[in-house]
Structure 1
Amino acid sequence: MKLLIVEDEPELLHSLEEFASKEDFMYDSAAGYQSAMERISLYDYDCIILDINLPDGNGFDLLKILHHEGKTDGVIILSARHSLDDKLKGLELGADDYLTKPFYFSELNARIKAIIRRKQFKTSNVVRFANLVIDPDQYLAGIDDLKKPISLTKKEYAILAHLVSNHKRVITKVALAEYIWGDYVDEAQSFDFLFSQIRNLKRKLKKAGAQVEIHNIYGVGYQIKSI
């Protein structure tokens, strides 16, 4: 799962990045309004950790942009403000949750996972697609209630979860690469790195007896279907 961390306080930003790495979240970081706006316009995120007070803008304005562009990214506001008016304003503008500083990272982690379940998997702790089961809390995938776990790398799991949560539509190569690798995609000369991950993932799903297939939609991207 992928986060965008928007925080201008260097020490807290670093702590949030360490937290994301420890919890095996992929993430991008932005220390200000402009850099956050650029990432929001370019990429989709499962959850945005959003500070209200930014040196070059306001977190509330970023919420307005998300709404205007029809984005469905989950949003947790982090703020030192304890004002009820600020909390209500954030929620009215589309934020999913509001956490005041200081906070416990364990609580932040629980709230992120709750939002991801609501956004992607419709509140269920696990998602089932054919005989494939995905547990977003434990980053596990397997067959038949996880009785037969599939050994996946971090990126293979992220690709599989993203395809399953969007199984009704085709995900373009560019969109999938940007979701998994973010800004690093701009430096890539080809999509060989993505093709390699997809190839390995297909092999592992087949070996595990998953009743799903990742279809290559020629010239466009990928879609996962039950078989």
Structure 2
Amino acid sequence: MKVLIIEDNEDLTLNMVNYLEQENIRCETAKNLFEAQDKLLAFQYDCILLDLMLPDGNGLDILSFIKSNQISANVLIISAKNALDDRLRGLDLGADDYLPKPFHLSELLARLRAIYRRSKLDGWDQIIFNEINLDTKLLEAKVNQSVLDLTKKEYDLLLFFLTNKNRVIGKEAIAQHLWGDYTDDLANFDFVYQHVKNLRKKIEKAGGKDYIKTVYGIGYKFDANAK
């Protein structure tokens, strides 16, 4: 899962990032509306953690921005307890849930996972596709009931492919998903080829089909109809 944290409190942001990244959730941050809008136009996120009180405006403006730009990301509002009207308005504008401050990080994680299950996994903790089974709680991948020995990046890549079946995904989009903000420091995207190659090899070695097809000059596609 990849999230964008829109929050101007640096200590809270750091605590959330440290906690969530230990739970295999990739985090990027924005401390104001301008940074948030810039990142939302440039990158894709599974979920947005949205503070409503930002230094350059109301976080609710992000919800209108998401709608007008047809951005497909879920939104979890994190706001002060006394901001009931804004929270209700946020839900009316399309937010998926809200969590009042202060909150326990374990509850934040539970809310994020619940939103992800509903939106991406049809309410389940597992993704099952033919002979492939991914358990998003155990962070475990199986092919024909054999556990694959995947690196964290290979697991993230397989999950990304399975939740985007039959879609052509560019190398840059894959790089952004795997490396987030650090992608700008990369000289090229050759590492994407290596991760895809390793993932293919491990799936085939376990008796799985080669679903991952190369789309030359663009990237890759997980072909659900592969034979």
Structure 2 Cα separation of the partners of residues 83 and 95 of structure 1: 15
Structure 1 Cα separation of the partners of residues 210 and 107 of structure 2: 35
Mapped pair 1:176 → 2:174? yes
Q: Which residue of 2 aligns with 1:161?
A: 159
- Matching residue's letter, 1:30: A
Mapped pair 1:111 → 2:111? yes
Structure 1 Cα separation of the partners of residues 91 and 210 of structure 2: 38
Q: Which residue of 2 aligns with 1:30?
A: 30
Conserved? CA contact 2:154–2:199, under 8 Å: yes
Moved runs in structure 1, 4+ residues, more than 4 A?
A: none
Conserved? CA contact 1:80–1:101, under 8 Å: yes
> Aligned residue pairs: how many?
225
RMSD (CA atoms): 1.5
Q: Which residue of 1 aligns with 2:42?
A: 42
Structure 1 Cα separation of the partners of residues 139 and 46 of structure 2: 14
Q: Which residue of 2 aligns with 1:217?
A: 215
Give aligned-pair identity as a percent: 40
Structure 1 Cα separation of the partners of residues 24 and 211 of structure 2: 26
Task: Structure 1: state its 5+ residue gaps.
Answer: none
- Matching residue's letter, 2:48: I
Structure 1 Cα separation of the partners of residues 10 and 135 of structure 2: 33
Conserved? CA contact 2:156–2:178, under 8 Å: yes
**Offset at 1:138?**
2.6
Q: Deviations over 1:103-152 (max 9, x none)?
A: 111111111111111221221221111110112223221124xx422121
Quick check: 88-97 or 176-185, which moved more?
A: 176-185
Conserved? CA contact 2:200–2:210, under 8 Å: no
Q: Deviations over 1:81-120 (max 9, x none)?
A: 4343222211111111100001111111111111111221
Task: Structure 2: state its 5+ residue gaps.
Answer: none
Q: TM-score, normalised by structure 2?
A: 0.93
Partner SS state of residue 198, structure 1? helix
